[in-house]
Amino acid sequence: MGPLLRAGALIPLLPCVALALRPFLVVVDPGHGGRDPGACWRGLREKDLTLRIARRLKGELRRRGILCRLTRESDRYLSPRRRARLARRWGADCFISIHANAAPPGCRRRGASVYVRRPNPLAWEVLRCLREVTRLELVHPRRAELAVLRDLRVPALLVEVGYIDNPAEAWRLYTARFQRRLAAAIRRAVERCCPLEPLRVHRVRRGDTLW
């Protein structure tokens, strides 16, 4: 048994903090849900699509040994701030909110895009990886004051995977094959950009040991 670390006893020999490892946690947020269907087109609902893609992304990450939690696992409503609070409570290292877009009446648009409140490398990497599997509407992350991202201090982004009211995109978005490709692209971005075991600060307290 190692010696107890008494408060102040080893200050000349040890720093006041020690570094501890913990698993990297990705929080994935399926947009909308419950009474909020999101964008709708010909019977297709954004809330259903986002949950399917989020579940596939969770599976992709877990198969690579990366810890992942979803803000919702079923069709239920959560406010944007509640989603952010969950991510903070769980100790998220990054936050990815999944959505699908809809064009204004009379417009026809297509392509994926990424929105951020503060620029971060993960957002750029997600765009690069999405470019490998789908068309992009925006070639760089766009800054936006989104409520779901506002209270987060970790890399956070909102991904619009495409336009639910574009017939060609909607057909692809609702196929399992394309959903898997989108999920795999986002997973690759997480692997390339995020350390899987980040160092965390642990303050030495009375009664701690070296072993």
Residue among 128, 159, 146, 148 at smallest CA distance from 49 = 159
**125 catalytic per annotation:** no
Q: Tokens 């406010």, residue?
A: 79
25 in Cβ contact with 197 (< 8 Å): no
CA–CA distance, 35 with 58 (Å, rounded to integer):
24
2 in Cβ contact with 210 (< 8 Å): yes
CA–CA distance, 148 with 95 (Å, rounded to integer):
10
Q: Which of 46, 60, 125, 160 is catalytic?
A: 160
SS percent in the chain: helix, strand, coil, step 5 = 35, 25, 45
Q: Which residues are catalytic?
A: 160
